[in-house]
Every structure is written in structure tokens, then in C-alpha cells.
């Protein structure tokens, strides 16, 4: 399995996993059984969102509390002002695969 794939069974609802896509750290979120992915680095001060707090479809950065929607990358709460880059996620035969959305 490559660095951008993992078994879906390894990421429970409400959990976050770090993967790598083309040399970029990407946080993958399980929101009620559906997988979403964004850049791992917060757009405020590069906090690692994979170490953040996921509640529903909102990720909170562990550094300064910026919040983002993991489905769209939209900023929900400052201090961040720039949205997150999102990535395409597919699940086939129980394997989650994350790819650059282009």
C-alpha cells in the first residue's frame, strides 16, 4: 500500500489520520463513516490539523483554535483567514485512497 492509502477499518468515525500525497502531508477525517481530506498544515501558523480536534465536520487547530469545515476547507473561525486545500478521497474494496484534487 502506498503512503496515500490505508484500510478504511483503521480510521474510526471521529478520528483523524495523517497520510502523504505527492510529498504533502494530508489529514484524513472520518465524519460519520464518510472520509474527507485537507492539507495538514493550518493556514494560520502551520499547526498540524492531524493533531487537532474533530467535532462533526469541523476541525479545530491545536495551536490557536482556528476552525475549518473538513468537507469544503472553508474557514469557520479565525485567526485563520485562508481556506484549506481539499483532496479527493475514494474508497474501493475497503481501501481509502487520497489524491490531489488538481
Domains belonging to the chain, first-starting first, are 5-100 (2.102.10.10)
Q: Is the pTM of this model over 0.85?
A: yes
Q: Which residue spans within 1-102 are E strands per DSSP?
A: 5-7, 16-21, 24-31, 34-39, 53-55, 58-60, 67-69, 75-77, 86-92, 95-100
Cα(38)–Cα(88) distance, rounded to whole angstroms?
9
**101 pLDDT band (50/70/90 cuts)?**
confident
Is residue 97's pLDDT more than 90? yes
Cα(22)–Cα(69) distance, rounded to whole angstroms?
23
How does the average pLDDT of the chain come out, rounded? 96
Cα(55)–Cα(59) distance, rounded to whole angstroms?
7
User: Which residues face 87 on adjacent strands?
Assistant: 37, 100
Amino acid at each position: 500500500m502506498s503512503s496515500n492509502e490505508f484500510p478504511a477499518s483503521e480510521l474510526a468515525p471521529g478520528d483523524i489520520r495523517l497520510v502523504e500525497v505527492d510529498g504533502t502531508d494530508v489529514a484524513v477525517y472520518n465524519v460519520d463513516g464518510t472520509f474527507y481530506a485537507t492539507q495538514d498544515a493550518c493556514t494560520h501558523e502551520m499547526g498540524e490539523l492531524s493533531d487537532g480536534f474533530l467535532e462533526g465536520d469541523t476541525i479545530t487547530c491545536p495551536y490557536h483554535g482556528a476552525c475549518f469545515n473538513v468537507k469544503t476547507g472553508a474557514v469557520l473561525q479565525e485567526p485563520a483567514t485562508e481556506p484549506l486545500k481539499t483532496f479527493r478521497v475514494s474508497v474501493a474494496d475497503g481501501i481509502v485512497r487520497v489524491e490531489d484534487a488538481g
